[in-house]
């Protein structure tokens, strides 16, 4: 039996099976450094408020600082037999500085302690995930800039819709990641609240100074209700939810790239260093990285569902069900971090096959909408123009040729409004250039967007 | 076969089964008023930009305004045979103002139109759900104020932990709802972006004025990338996620009240108007409303999962899978709205059985922590004090009496540090009063919190 | 205020808001016919066991039979102001046959009644969904038979892997649907248990004959524990779970067909009657039906999550949270039913562009594995053969030609083991023919599989 | 860079980041023993079919058998730098038996290999989880037998409904676990199909004998379609779904026990060895184990959602997204296994406070239904009896006394049908005894059920 922070009330030792089952060490090891940071602030405050002596406070801080260094240097391995990471750190401290270590537990409960640790972790993650998203944006802008003038078929329903700039397509993802960053920023504000000092649920009668601890740990706000503070995991849910949306965005980008990388689309070539082979089929060069990113979205969505389900219907205040929160939160954070970093590099090193883009644009039905608008300009009502061009498309399809090859004579059979300039309309590059609405695929506007993003994403 | 906005390209009529399966009218009827509002702004802009004549623009606006009035007066029933609500509105307009109605479709696609409608709907919902949450806060503050001095057992792990004020417990929920309101406000900012003018995916070549439309519809921002704009549902996901958290909060409050309303807890009595009976058991007075609220959280969580799953792995840009988004979004909004309103009234009208609170407080083991802290003040290290009091608790339990009845003599057997004042510590009301940390259950602080909330929640 | 089946204990009328919120009529209308069937059996038993008089029993049965007929003829509309469908049916009965109707409520509670109704509904659904799945299998076998000899690229990671028969690819889905049918059959066995007679939770003291009711309603088993019987929804969860897997299969088939229907793959052409157009782009012929089927999987998965979440952590026995079960179950059933029927017809009427299959097979890297196996037959260890062929593929890729065009001379530079017959190996049709393992794409085996399925699926 | 099973086609080494990201070793280590078992069968077959020499086959089998032993003895640690567990095993084999090890890879791809491994793992798990469920049933039957005659309030809506036997309540969970066992048995049938021999997707041209491998590995069936076989994870989904329902059952049982263990209910006492304390509050004895079990249901539900979401919309055949399946499946299996074992012991060692049951039964409104039925026997129609008793209940409530204490005189004021025997009806034990329907809480029937279960659950 390992040592515990409680026991006087118990007549029997805990069943070893229970010890193993309730141990959270594999789950909460990710909190180690944050636990120590929180304890340093707490110990400092206890001394300053004379709840313990200044000397004891200094001893605690010194001991904790050494542990923090071990953790940062990767020399602090979680002990699989410890009850949890907090207990392990406490015991390490006791071994190092003796019984004074026990004073750290003054005016603090594990309920507010673990709430603090998880907030510190989430706050940190929100920051580095933002960097990761910026990295992914940079890679996309970089790829878009390399092929700034490339035109490709734009898709709706995975069908050729209208010509667009490849850069426009890629910048759509830059916009998504920008919203993800905004969501992380908003989540950060609600993460950034100090729960420590809430005790087990009711607060404490000791003269602690929560504002001082908040200042030490750089929290702009202090929680206002102790029962809420120890049982609140909204901040974790909000982060998980933001990451589920990041995951969804990543899965869409992965899907696009997997499609482009197929023989049939043939638009994108992965760098060999970012593809994998088959143990059986010698010709295979598989987009495994992209598939793993796409699939990973499922796991992150599952974790969000799990955390919501776990909390649903729990009475106030703290309940042990919450121990599992870390399994959802930590894995979602780590997986998203990994995926964003590997994705950024993969995007950076990908090649677009512009010749294949040109080949795909031979399907000039992509410009059918332009042809209809051309008729509208010549006075044909839109609905009628739509019908006429629909029939033109079917005619070309039947003959197995592009619209252009129908020639003016055939076009005139469908409407006398067609004249010489009709055929010029059927040029994808011209189609793109004609667009003029804000946010459209117009090349000047897209070029400007690229410049704006490059400026914004320049590293300080 | 109903009329459609497309068709020239098709050699055959749509299969009736397909018409039925692809119809979204039952799903998107909730968008009717927003669709018309968007169309009025679009038509106004078309006239102002001379894309259509001023006279035509006026005709369109007049016709649409009449339809809007029908909708607002509940006189516009969705036609189950229409393809979708947009088509039904368009056809109604055509019947009323003739062929000019077709001009409304200039420089607009259903992709940007439906994105606009859903945003208008979500924006509206974010506003009224905020009001609903304020209402729930008001009811909780009201109930808390009625029993401002009532002390009750505070629970962790559903075990008696420490005494707290009932008002403190109730205010924990007020804090949760405050965060919900913050999340809705943040979501609102990202909802509040105009997608109209993005066309099907590429923008348009017609000289539209998106900023003007934004001004008419009170959107502070205009979307920056047309491909993103037509396929983005982040705003809906963010709203659904905020509502899933609201649902989780509601389920916890419902759980607490269901427990309190049980014979065993006996703390809370529901107003007869908010309880239901049994068809078989004459004595039953069931908290069905609370159970429905608790269960509803499951549905809202399921809708969030559904929407995320639906979008996962979709290539750009618009795909018809998104049609189902409305089923998730609308139902989540409506259910949350209903639950908040009925909950507020139920809370408002509930009665606390203070005599039962007093009875529950006879379990003075609730003050065991106070007794340990008392020993600490007398120089006993906390860990040792914790063990001593644990043994005291076991002794009382064995004799089946409260701690207080052990008397000083027995206490002294466990530790000589106990003196006369030990017994006075075992008073729940004193325990509460001793708390002094910010956010604690200290009565003065809770009273102040009540005043602050009352001020904040005062109606305009 | 509507009439209720309870009330004596209540001093106040139910709040109208509560009535609206707790009403389940929109949710449980789908149970109408099953409710009446169950009541007919119950009334028959009451008479036979002399709990009520034979005459009263007959009156009840006659009245109920008339209501059943109204329902079957679509003449029984749910009344939005009724508390639930059971109450509405009860009231209708009272209007029709007078006070004797009240006797129907003898020895029955709404708890066991609604459990029965839901089981009858699920049992029925399991049967017709099985038929729907058979229909989808038939359509796939039909399409596969029409193109029984067509060879296509087989994909892993959406990359060309090895040649396969189109029929082999389609039959993979037939296998999936077969497992779905097995799961429905297994779920059916656990659905098929009579809960009626369990009372509210404890059973009844009246001399009912549950075995007789079971016989009337064709239930082979009777529930063994009344508390379990009224709160068990495993059968619904199991059905929802089976439908979530069906939905997943449908989404994969939809994805394949959407890909095949793209310009880039160009393998499949949808019948015009099963495609939809665009209001803006005249050339569009969109696979909306397939996208809706793919997206729908998200909703069904969400409903499964919802139902599990809803039930999680509920104490025994019946709780009102369960009212929402119908929303998950009924919608999942109806959506799956619709999707299977529309899919079957769509598959049946689709056309494969065999010329495009031939074009895609020009990529003879598909046969790289065959080339490696050819080297193995000539004594080269597999790992080495794999490396050699990998280099051959790169060489061909660099020159932008199929492997075949490298010619024997070039091949020999990579390995002297290549001889004249090497080039013959690079033929997709030969590759397929060489396969001989059970379950492989070998044409004779696939033909046999088609025959077996046709026999199995022949309509009675 | 670690060694891989592929590479000839690649001009560059894999990026180290990609190696780390695509590595699945932490996920698939749980498959180690199954991988070796499968390989032994495969190697045996290769020799028997003369695809490799008998001597080589024997060498492979001997080498693999030694590895299997290492694994079984816990001496085979996953190498965090290996690509996956299959590669690590392959490399270990090569180190031990030299280049002949490479021949193991004949006529097999990682796609069918991993499908086999996962099936072997799931098949094993279905077996030991069944044992675990039997253990939980045994513990419940044991507890029920110890208190076979104890009567308690039965709850609906967490309100006192009717008296039931404690054993009846506990046996409801035994029924649930029985259905869980049935579901595992059904899942087992669909797990129990051999996928090996399907190659990467198309089968193989080598003369393998799948039926022989099936016999060696005790699979009664062989998969019929190679494309389906390598991409099918239905069996894993079905297992996860069965475990999600197990988790839901466990969460309900945990909830009941947490409630019973509260001060307010006071029905159940946990053994000290199965409870945990608080680091702050000395009196606390918390049901952490039960809370962890309850919360764990959320994780298992989340994993099911994840796996479904992951597979949704994937084209045929194998895609790397499936790598994550193991994370969902293995964790769900292991968590469920742990929870069932710890729960069984906890239940076994719990104590029921029968005196508290007696105290709770003083609330004789529990027998209100009996009183109504008593009036029915005296000729009062049920609806009227229901109303009368409802009023009686209110009267007692107002006076704060049990119904019994109202006395006959007062009862008669509500209905003249009341006579002397009315008061005798208000006895919970009599109420239970009066029940006579099959599956009811009737003591004789419950005793019989206990006997039946004891017989069924008797070990070996």
What is the CB neighbour count within 10 angstroms for residue B310?
32
- When pLDDT is cut at 50, 70 and 90, the band that residue A2 belongs to is very low
For residue D297, give the chain C residue with the closest CA.
C312
Distance CA A169, CA B317 (A): 9
pTM for the whole structure:
0.97
> Do the chains contact at C11 and D382, CB–CB below 8 Å?
no
Give me the interface pTM, i.e. the ipTM: 0.96
Residues of B in contact with A6 (CB under 8 A): 386, 390
Q: Tell me the two tokens of residue C246.
A: 């069906």
**pLDDT value of position D23:** 87
Distance CA A79, CA A89 (A): 10
The CATH class of the D361-459 domain is: mainly alpha
- When pLDDT is cut at 50, 70 and 90, the band that residue A460 belongs to is low
Strands C221-222, C268-269: pairing is: unpaired
Cα separations (Å) of B64 from A269, B58, B95, B124, B217? 51, 10, 12, 20, 15
Cα separations (Å) of C95 from A460, C32, C63? 80, 17, 10
Residues of B in contact with A452 (CB under 8 A): none
Residue ranges of chain B whose pLDDT lies below 50: 1-3
Residues of C in contact with B299 (CB under 8 A): 306, 310, 324, 327-328
**pLDDT value of position C383:** 80
Chains in contact with A, where contact means 3 or more Cβ–Cβ distances below 8 Å, are B, C, D
The 10s digit of each residue's pLDDT in A197-217 is 999 999 999 999 999 999 999
Choose the CATH number for D16-106 among 3.40.50.700, 3.40.50.1820, 1.10.275.10, 3.40.50.720.
Answer: 1.10.275.10
> Do the chains contact at B203 and A7, CB–CB below 8 Å?
no
More confident residue, D23 or B436: B436
**pLDDT value of position D1:** 34
C145 is catalytic: no
Q: Is the separation of the CB atoms in A400 and C310 below 8 Å?
A: no
My answer on whether omega of the bond before C317 falls inside 30° of 0, hence cis, is yes
Q: Which of C188, C189, C206, C185 is nearest to C197 (CA)?
A: C206
- When pLDDT is cut at 50, 70 and 90, the band that residue C280 belongs to is confident
> Do the chains contact at B299 and C327, CB–CB below 8 Å?
yes
> Do the chains contact at B299 and C17, CB–CB below 8 Å?
no
**pLDDT value of position D316:** 96
B70 is catalytic: no
Q: Is the separation of the CB atoms in A147 and A450 below 8 Å?
A: no
**pLDDT value of position C5:** 58
Per-domain boundaries in chain D:
16-106, 111-206+223-359, 361-459
> Do the chains contact at A292 and D345, CB–CB below 8 Å?
no
**pLDDT value of position C382:** 81
> Do the chains contact at A8 and B387, CB–CB below 8 Å?
yes
- Mean pLDDT score, D262-291: 91
> Do the chains contact at C245 and D255, CB–CB below 8 Å?
no
The answer, yes or no, to whether residue D351 has pLDDT greater than 50, is yes
> Do the chains contact at A156 and B222, CB–CB below 8 Å?
no
Residues of A in contact with C266 (CB under 8 A): 264
For residue D357, give the chain B residue with the closest CA.
B264
- Mean pLDDT score, D61-84: 93
The answer, yes or no, to whether residue C331 has pLDDT greater than 90, is yes
Distance CA C427, CA C404 (A): 9
Phi, psi of D156 (to 5 degrees): -130, 145
The 10s digit of each residue's pLDDT in A242-280 is 999 999 999 999 999 999 999 999 999 999 999 988 877
**pLDDT value of position A258:** 98
More confident residue, C382 or B361: B361
> Do the chains contact at C297 and B280, CB–CB below 8 Å?
no
Residue A324: which of D296, D305, D308 has the nearest Cβ?
A: D296
**pLDDT value of position A20:** 87
Catalytic-labelled residue, pool C157, C279, C355, C437: C157
Residues of A in contact with D310 (CB under 8 A): 295, 297-299
- Min distance A208 CA to chain C CA atoms (Å): 38
- When pLDDT is cut at 50, 70 and 90, the band that residue A7 belongs to is low
Catalytic-labelled residue, pool C53, C262, C278, C362: C278
Q: Which of C144, C169, C141 is nearest to C154 (CA)?
A: C169
Q: Is the separation of the CB atoms in C131 and C338 below 8 Å?
A: no
- Min distance A220 CA to chain C CA atoms (Å): 36
Residue A312: which of B9, B162, B301 has the nearest Cβ?
A: B301
Residues of B in contact with C240 (CB under 8 A): none
The answer, yes or no, to whether residue C2 has pLDDT greater than 50, is no
The answer, yes or no, to whether residue C6 has pLDDT greater than 80, is no
For residue A305, give the chain C residue with the closest CA.
C305
Best residue of A39, A204, A236, A324 to probe chain D, by most D CBs closer than 10 Å: A324
Q: What is the DSSP string of C313-370?
A: TPPSS--GGGGGHHHHHHHHHHHHHHHHHHHHHHHHT-EE-HHHHHHHTT-GGGGHHH
- When pLDDT is cut at 50, 70 and 90, the band that residue A282 belongs to is confident
Residues of C in contact with B308 (CB under 8 A): 298
Best residue of D116, D205, D235, D245 to probe chain C, by most C CBs closer than 10 Å: D205
**pLDDT value of position D117:** 98
**pLDDT value of position D329:** 96
Q: Which of A130, A189, A123 is nearest to A457 (CA)?
A: A130
Distance CA C178, CA C133 (A): 8
- Min distance A283 CA to chain D CA atoms (Å): 6
Q: Tell me the two tokens of residue B311.
A: 């979008």
**pLDDT value of position D2:** 41
Phi, psi of A193 (to 5 degrees): -130, 130
Distance CA B43, CA D242 (A): 55
Phi, psi of D77 (to 5 degrees): -90, 135
- Mean pLDDT score, C351-365: 94
Domain A111-206+223-359 has CATH 1.20.200.10: yes
Chains in contact with C, where contact means 3 or more Cβ–Cβ distances below 8 Å, are A, B, D
Which has the minimum average pLDDT: A344-353, D223-232, D279-288?
D279-288
Average of per-residue pLDDT values in chain D: 94
Residue A368: which of C259, C282, C386 has the nearest Cβ?
A: C282
Catalytic-labelled residue, pool A157, A205, A355, A437: A157
> Do the chains contact at A289 and D10, CB–CB below 8 Å?
no
**pLDDT value of position A384:** 87
Residues of B in contact with A261 (CB under 8 A): none
Which has the minimum average pLDDT: B384-388, D119-123, D322-326?
B384-388
My answer on whether omega of the bond before D317 falls inside 30° of 0, hence cis, is yes
3-class DSSP assignment, residue B159: strand
**C270: CB partners within 8 A, 6+ apart:** C261, C285, C287, C346, C349, C350
């Amino acid at each position: 039996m390992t040592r515990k922070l409680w026991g006087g009330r118990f007549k029997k030792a805990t069943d070893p099976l229970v010890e193993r089952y309730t141990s959270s060490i594999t789950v909460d090891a990710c909190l180690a450094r944050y636990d120590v940071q929180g304890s340093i602030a707490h110990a400092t405050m206890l001394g300053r408020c004379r709840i313990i002596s200044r000397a004891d406070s200094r001893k605690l801080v010194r001991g904790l600082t050494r542990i923090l260094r071990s953790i940062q240097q990767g020399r602090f391995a979680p002990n699989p037999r410890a009850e949890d990471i907090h207990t392990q750190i406490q015991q390490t401290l006791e071994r190092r500085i003796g019984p004074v270590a026990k004073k750290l537990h003054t005016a603090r409960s594990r309920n507010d302690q673990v709430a603090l640790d998880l907030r510190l972790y989430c706050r940190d993650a929100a920051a580095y995930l933002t960097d990761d998203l910026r990295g992914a944006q940079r890679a996309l802008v970089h790829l878009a800039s390399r092929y700034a003038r490339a035109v490709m078929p734009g898709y709706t329903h995975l069908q050729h819709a209208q010509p667009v700039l490849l850069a426009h397509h890629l910048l759509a993802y830059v916009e998504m990641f920008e919203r993800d960053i905004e969501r992380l920023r908003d989540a950060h504000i609600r993460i950034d609240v100090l729960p420590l000092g809430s005790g087990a649920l009711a607060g404490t009668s000791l003269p602690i100074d929560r504002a001082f601890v908040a200042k030490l740990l750089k929290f702009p706000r202090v929680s206002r209700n102790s029962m809420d503070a120890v049982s609140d995991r909204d901040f974790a849910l909000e982060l998980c939810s933001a990451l589920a949306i990041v995951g969804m965005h990543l899965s869409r980008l992965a899907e696009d790239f997997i499609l482009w990388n197929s023989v049939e689309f043939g638009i994108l070539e992965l760098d060999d260093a970012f593809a994998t082979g088959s143990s059986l089929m010698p010709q295979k060069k598989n987009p495994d990285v992209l598939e793993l990113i796409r699939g990973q979205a499922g796991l992150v969505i599952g974790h969000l569902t799990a955390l919501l389900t776990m909390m649903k219907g729990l009475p106030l205040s703290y309940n042990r069900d919450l121990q599992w929160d870390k399994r959802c939160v930590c894995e979602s954070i780590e997986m998203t971090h990994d995926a964003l970093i590997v994705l950024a590099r993969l995007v950076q090193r990908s090649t677009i096959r512009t010749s294949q883009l040109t080949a795909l644009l031979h399907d000039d039905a992509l410009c059918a909408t332009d042809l209809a608008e051309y008729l509208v300009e010549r006075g044909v009502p839109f609905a009628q123009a739509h019908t006429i061009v629909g029939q033109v498309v079917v005619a070309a399809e039947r003959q197995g040729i592009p619209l252009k090859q129908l020639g003016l004579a055939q076009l005139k059979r469908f409407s006398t409004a067609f004249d010489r300039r009709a055929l010029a309309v059927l040029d994808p590059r011209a189609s793109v250039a004609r667009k003029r609405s804000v946010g459209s695929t117009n090349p000047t506007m897209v070029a400007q967007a690229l410049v704006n993003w490059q400026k914004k994403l320049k590293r300080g």
